[in-house]
């Protein structure tokens, strides 16, 4: 399928404005331009009951986090979200629009983690930051009103890569317990050449992938590490249910879809949706792409279902424990 008419209009506007590719700019310029583009395409800022900035302990010091909390009392299901930007660009501001919409639509609490960026802090700094922050949030539920039985991770692009890596670390290190993973056009194999035929400088392309990868992986051999390339993990069994979203005209499409198929093959309940005609970045820009809004709605429905399933499972477990405890108690006397 050809690119969507809205993508064609977006591309034409960038061409008319003479927008240079991020990989031709300095890091400072690229970081500012990336945030400006996301804000321009994000649409109206959606109000949320509470938005608060604070810090949590990370793997090498405190990390900034932004908490988006919808109305409601008591512990809430919580999505820990990792922003995109090739591990090189981005901040808690980058995903603010996504997090506001998901917080309202699920509804759930969404906490964005300001992990350390490359090249100043190359792999595996971001992975360990994201895991440490997720574990702290899950292990300290009273701090922000988190329901520890309903904690999910998610992210777009590099953030999707980090979310997948966090699930691997959580399984390896015995926690935290995760309800779901939301992976939006994730990088999953740093050792492979990116897909796609075009090198369109007005859109995310194979040169973009190589530029980000070069900043993130100080040692090219790290490309084969499962925490950098989750697709290369020997075993994906026991990971949380996943929603994987891809875009048809995205150099990361094939590796994201291969990861979804591997998850399914390992017995992980997985939904895979490819958005026809779309390009990398569409999920973060619902103001420019209607499918960005549709994909966010799909993500919200997936998370709502997983949180509801976790509630039902916990309730069934409590009832069984109460019943079993009564019978056992009688037998012990």
Q: Which residues are catalytic?
A: 157, 250, 280
Pick the closest to residue 181 from 230, 147, 114 (CA basis): 230
Q: Are the C-beta atoms of residues 156 and 95 closer than 8 Å to each other?
A: yes
Q: What's 107's DSSP letter?
A: T
d(CA 222, CA 122) in angstroms, rounded, equals 10
Residues 202 and 7 sit within 8 Å (Cβ to Cβ): no
| Among 305, 240, 244, 245, residue whose Cα is nearest residue 267 | 240
CA-nearest of 308, 312, 311, 295 to 102 is 295
Q: Are 153 and 124 in contact (CB under 8 A)?
A: no
What contacts 47, CB < 8 A, 6 or more positions away?
100
> In terms of Cα–Cα distance, which of 55, 64, 136, 135 is closest to 95?
64
CB atoms within 10 A of CB 74: 6
- How far is it, in rounded angstroms, from Cα 227 to Cα 233? 8
| 195 token code pair | 């897909």
DSSP letter for 241, please.
Answer: P
Of 157, 161, 256, 248, nearest to 198 by C-alpha is: 248
User: What is residue 249's DSSP assignment?
Assistant: E
CA distance 301 to 308: 10
292, 285 contact by CB (below 8 A): yes
């Amino acid at each position: 399928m050809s690119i969507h008419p809205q993508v064609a209009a977006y591309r034409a506007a960038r061409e008319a404005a003479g927008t240079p590719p991020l990989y031709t700019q300095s890091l400072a310029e690229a970081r500012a331009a990336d945030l400006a583009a996301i804000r321009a395409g994000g649409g109206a800022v959606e109000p949320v009951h509470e938005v608060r900035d604070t810090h949590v302990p990370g793997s090498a010091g405190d990390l900034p986090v932004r908490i988006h909390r919808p109305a409601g009392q008591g512990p809430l299901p919580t999505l820990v979200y990792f922003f995109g930007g090739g591990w090189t660009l981005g901040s808690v501001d980058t995903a603010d629009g996504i997090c506001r919409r998901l917080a309202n639509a699920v509804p759930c609490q969404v906490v964005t983690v300001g992990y350390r960026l490359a090249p100043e802090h190359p792999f595996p700094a971001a992975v360990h930051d994201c895991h440490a922050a997720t574990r702290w949030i899950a292990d300290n539920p009273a701090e922000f009103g988190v329901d520890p039985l309903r904690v999910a991770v998610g992210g777009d692009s590099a953030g999707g890569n980090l979310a997948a890596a966090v699930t691997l670390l959580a399984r390896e290190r015995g926690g935290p317990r995760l309800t779901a993973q939301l992976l939006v056009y994730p990088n999953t194999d740093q050792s492979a050449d990116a897909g796609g035929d075009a090198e369109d400088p007005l859109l995310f392309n194979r040169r973009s992938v190589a530029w980000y990868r070069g900043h993130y992986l100080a040692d090219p051999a790290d490309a084969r590490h499962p925490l950098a390339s989750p697709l290369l993990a020997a075993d994906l069994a026991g990971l949380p249910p996943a929603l994987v979203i891809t875009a048809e005209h995205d150099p990361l499409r094939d590796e994201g879809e291969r990861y979804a198929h591997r998850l399914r093959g390992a017995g992980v309940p997985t939904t895979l949706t490819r958005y026809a005609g779309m390009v990398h970045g569409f999920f973060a820009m619902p103001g420019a792409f209607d499918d960005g809004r549709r994909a966010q709605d799909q993500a919200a429905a997936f998370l709502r279902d997983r949180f509801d399933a976790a509630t039902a499972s916990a309730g069934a477990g409590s009832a069984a424990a109460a019943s079993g405890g009564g019978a056992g108690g009688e037998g012990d006397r």
